[in-house]
């Protein structure tokens, strides 16, 4: 298949994905605006206060975080500026919030893929949410102590400004959805270009030795690198096939899925939050460093587990592959 044919095929797939996202994002955004005008957001926000205060964020952003975990990053993006004026947020705020989203988003979909590869959904979901909170907390403490990124956020793209009336709201929503389409198609073309030129394969080859630091062995290294760059749908999908064939051991499947939960789709997802004004050091470099360190610690714990404990708590589909270390 030629590069042009590939681009056209991927563009059609992207339009289908955009349709699905629009069907979710538009009603959620309208509902959030309606609830905000009715005072419900203000009333519910204190429920998120303990978690949001832990990472130094306004409690109103708790709703956007929850939406992101259930719907995905694109579902949360329009809510950020709809819930909190962008002018009141610093670059540090956007970076910390983006970190929360990058670790745990679209959990019902992505974790179902992970579950099909074998790891237990409960264990890996809790690790993603807890890992995101821990990283966001550490990032917040470092930024607060040093004063880094304290300047007002300077987003390249503001999904929606706070509207004065419903007419302005729907105009802003329309502009946001058009921007989302342009960005989504652009990212798809960029990824296809990286694949076609071989740059993506080179990046995955370079990364393989680094993944070994996290306890990801050669048998699962390439698959994990695919997930890191292209997302859980790709990396997890390949792991499902390899796990069922027995080519990758259950413990390596679990460790690989843990790492992908912490760091995946680093090109597309990172570009989205950078457009919102996040700092690349916090949402990419620091995130990958944390993923390597945290996964290495979890891999050591997994290696020390007995088969009985591992298959009881971490891996629900032991019958797909033979138990081995």
Q: Is a pLDDT exceeding 80 seen at residue 80?
A: yes
Closest to 111 (Cα-Cα) out of 233, 21, 14 = 233
Domain range for 206 is 3-320
- CA–CA distance, 137 with 152 (Å, rounded to integer): 20
Position 325 in a domain: no
Position 63 in a domain: yes
Phi, psi of 90 (to 5 degrees): -95, 170
| 302 against 156, higher pLDDT | 302
Closest to 188 (Cα-Cα) out of 223, 224, 231, 158 = 231
pLDDT in tens, 125-155: 999 999 999 999 999 999 999 999 999 999 9
pLDDT in tens, 228-285: 887 886 666 667 777 777 888 999 999 999 999 999 989 889 998 999 999 999 999 9
Rounded to 10 degrees, what is the CA torsion of 145, 151, 154, 160?
Answer: 80
Return the pLDDT at 2. 67
pLDDT in tens, 166-184: 888 788 788 878 877 887 7
Tokens describing residue 321: 């592959």
pTM: 0.79
136 to each of 251, 277, 290, 295, 296, how far by Cα in Å?
Answer: 27, 16, 11, 16, 19
Position 203 in a domain: yes
Return the pLDDT at 82. 80
pLDDT in tens, 264-274: 989 889 998 99
Question: What is the CB neighbour count within 10 angstroms for residue 72?
Answer: 22
| 320 against 164, higher pLDDT | 164
Domain count, the chain: 1
Q: Provide the sign of the torsion angle of the four alpha carbons 246, 264, 73, 267, taken in this order.
A: negative
């Amino acid at each position: 298949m030629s590069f042009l044919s590939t681009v056209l095929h991927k563009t059609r797939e992207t339009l289908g994905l955009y349709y699905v996202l629009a069907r979710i994002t538009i009603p959620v955004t309208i509902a959030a605006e309606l609830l905000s005008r009715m005072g419900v957001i203000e009333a519910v926000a204190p429920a998120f206060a303990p978690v949001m205060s832990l990472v130094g964020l306004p409690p109103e952003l708790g709703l956007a975080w929850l939406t992101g975990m259930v719907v995905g990053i694109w579902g949360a993006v329009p809510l950020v500026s709809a819930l909190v004026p962008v002018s009141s947020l610093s670059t540090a705020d956007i970076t910390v919030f983006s970190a929360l989203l990058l670790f745990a988003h679209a959990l019902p979909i992505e974790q179902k893929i992970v579950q099909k590869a074998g790891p237990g959904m409960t264990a890996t979901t809790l690790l993603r949410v807890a890992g995101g909170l821990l990283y966001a907390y550490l990032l917040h403490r470092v930024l607060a102590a040093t004063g880094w990124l304290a300047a007002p956020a300077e987003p390249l793209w503001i999904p929606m400004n706070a509207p004065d009336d419903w007419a302005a709201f729907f105009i802003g929503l329309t502009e946001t959805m058009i921007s989302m389409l342009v960005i989504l198609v652009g990212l798809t073309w960029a990824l296809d270009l990286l694949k076609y030129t071989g740059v993506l394969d080179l990046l995955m080859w370079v990364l393989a030795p680094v993944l070994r630091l996290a306890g990801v062995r050669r048998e699962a290294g390439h698959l994990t690198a695919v997930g890191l760059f292209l997302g859980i749908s790709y990396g997890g999908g390949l792991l499902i096939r390899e796990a069922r064939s027995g080519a990758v051991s259950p413990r390596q499947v679990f460790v690989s899925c843990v790492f992908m939960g912490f760091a995946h789709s680093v090109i597309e997802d990172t570009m989205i939050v950078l457009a919102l004004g996040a700092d690349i050091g916090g949402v990419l470099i620091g995130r990958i460093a944390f993923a390597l360190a945290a996964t290495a610690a979890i891999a050591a714990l997994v290696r020390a587990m007995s088969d009985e404990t591992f298959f009881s708590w971490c891996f629900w589909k032991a019958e797909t592959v033979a138990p081995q270390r």
